[in-house]
């Protein structure tokens, strides 16, 4: 599908300024942000995606920022714009956390950041719930199992470096499945200061939570809730490779 891109110079005009300076901004703030984008080598933005603000489509919206599709030089990137009503005064910490998860090959790649923006890899894909619903025909069980295993392995890597995502219990918003890879996204609530529970949270969300769990159950027979909780209890006590492998075995992955 062809995407229409708008030069960043036009972001000073309505309705685009309403996204760049969401939810409310001054002309001075908008012009300052356009200068910031120029320094980050962002050339243009495409208003496309599953979320809508006013009449404009975007990739996503959170408590800290708005995510849009942008072009950096000639490459597609995801651009996170700090909301003006956010409690965060800058994006430095989020960029630092993304760089840390990248060190174990998790999440979208960080390309650059500034006070009000994070420039990262654009992952063209679907939210996990929609992706599961789209699985058809023979081999869908194998494909689903392989994808869930990849997600759990990413979560295990994060547990191993003492990194807690913080919002994986609401998996539908934080996992994207693309053609070539699946990825955990949105690290704005993450922390290295609390005990990580990535594997536990996402296992509960996929296999025990009502929404995604019901979708998964239709495709392959998952073990009883008691067995899953038992394996998770062992893992929580000792987040080792052995206890993680045991969990995968129980989940038939």
> What confidence tier does 181 reach under pLDDT thresholds 50, 70, 90?
confident
pLDDT score of 109: 97
pLDDT tens string 196-246: 999 999 999 999 877 888 899 899 999 999 999 999 999 999 999 999 999
pLDDT tens string 43-93: 999 999 999 999 999 999 999 999 999 999 889 999 999 999 999 999 999
Cα(75)–Cα(176) distance, rounded to whole angstroms?
A: 20
pLDDT score of 1: 56
pLDDT tens string 92-131: 999 999 999 999 999 999 999 999 999 999 999 999 999 9
Q: Transcribe 53-85 into DSSP letters.
A: ETTEEESEE-SSEEEEEEEETTEEEEEEEE-TT
Give, as one character, the DSSP assignment of residue 195. -
Averaged pLDDT score across all residues of the chain: 95
> Cβ distance 86 to 80 under 8 Å?
no
pLDDT at 16 exceeding the cut of 60: yes
> What confidence tier does 2 reach under pLDDT thresholds 50, 70, 90?
low
Q: What is the mean pLDDT of residues 248-253?
A: 96
pLDDT at 179 exceeding the cut of 90: no
Give the lowest-confidence range in 25-34, 154-163, 179-188: 179-188
pLDDT score of 102: 98
pLDDT at 172 exceeding the cut of 90: no
Q: What is the mean pLDDT of residues 2-19?
A: 94
Sign for the CA dihedral angle at 83, 198, 146, 111 comes to positive
pLDDT score of 143: 94
The backbone torsions φ and ψ at residue 46, rounded to the nearest 5 degrees and listed phi first, read -115, 125
Q: Which domains does the chain have, with CATH numbers?
A: 6-121 (3.30.200.20), 125-250 (1.10.510.10)
> What confidence tier does 136 reach under pLDDT thresholds 50, 70, 90?
confident
Share of the chain above pLDDT 70, in %: 99
Cα(64)–Cα(43) distance, rounded to whole angstroms?
A: 23
């Amino acid at each position: 599908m062809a995407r229409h891109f708008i030069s960043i110079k036009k972001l000073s005009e309505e309705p685009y300024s309403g996204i760049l300076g969401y939810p409310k901004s001054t002309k001075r703030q908008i012009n300052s942000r356009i200068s910031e984008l120029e320094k980050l080598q962002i050339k243009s933005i495409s208003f496309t995606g599953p979320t809508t603000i006013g009449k404009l489509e975007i990739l996503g919206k959170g408590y800290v920022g708005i995510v849009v599709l942008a072009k950096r030089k000639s490459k597609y990137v995801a651009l996170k714009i700090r909301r003006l009503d956010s409690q965060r005064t800058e994006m430095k910490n989020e960029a630092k956390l993304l760089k840390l998860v990248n060190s174990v090959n998790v999440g979208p790649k960080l390309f650059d950041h500034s006070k009000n923006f994070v420039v990262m890899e654009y992952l063209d894909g679907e939210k996990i719930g929609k992706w599961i619903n789209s699985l058809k025909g023979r081999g869908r069980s194998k494909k689903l199992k392989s994808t869930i295993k990849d997600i759990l392995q990413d979560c295990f890597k994060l547990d191993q470096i003492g990194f807690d995502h913080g919002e994986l219990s609401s998996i539908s918003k934080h996992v994207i499945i693309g053609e070539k890879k699946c990825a955990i996204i949105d690290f704005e609530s993450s922390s290295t200061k609390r005990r990580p529970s990535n594997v536990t949270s996402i296992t509960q969300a996929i296999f025990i939570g009502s929404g995604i769990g019901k979708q998964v159950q239709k495709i392959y027979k998952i073990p009883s809730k008691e067995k899953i909780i038992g394996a998770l209890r062992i893992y929580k006590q000792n987040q080792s490779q052995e206890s993680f492998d045991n969990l995968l075995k129980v989940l038939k992955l």
